[in-house]
Amino acid sequence: MSKAVKRLFDIIASASGLIVLSPVFLVLIYLIRKNLGSPVFFIRERPGKDGKPFKMVKFRSMRDALDSDGIPLPDSERLT
């Protein structure tokens, strides 16, 4: 399969997946915003192909919980 055909297939499959899953994403956004507040997304820069960095975006799943001294609680206590 040529690179152009593979690229076209990847774009069509990704767009279709986003369209099909968009109602689920909207519900998740609402629930995260209601229970954890803002921001809804967790964004980090990661190394990609050939070391070129890219931004990874995922739904937030941890609270910003702090102890009495202002130090973040352990991950196990911040998970939702």
- Give the range of the structural domain holding residue 8, as residue numbers without chain letter: 3-78
Per the structure, the count of domains in the chain is 1
Instruction: Output the CA–CA distances (angstroms, integers) from residue 74 to 5, 24, 59, 65, in the order listed.
Output: 47, 29, 19, 9
pLDDT tier at 80 (50, 70, 90 boundaries)?
low
pLDDT single digits (tens) 2-36: 999 999 999 999 999 999 999 999 999 999 999 88
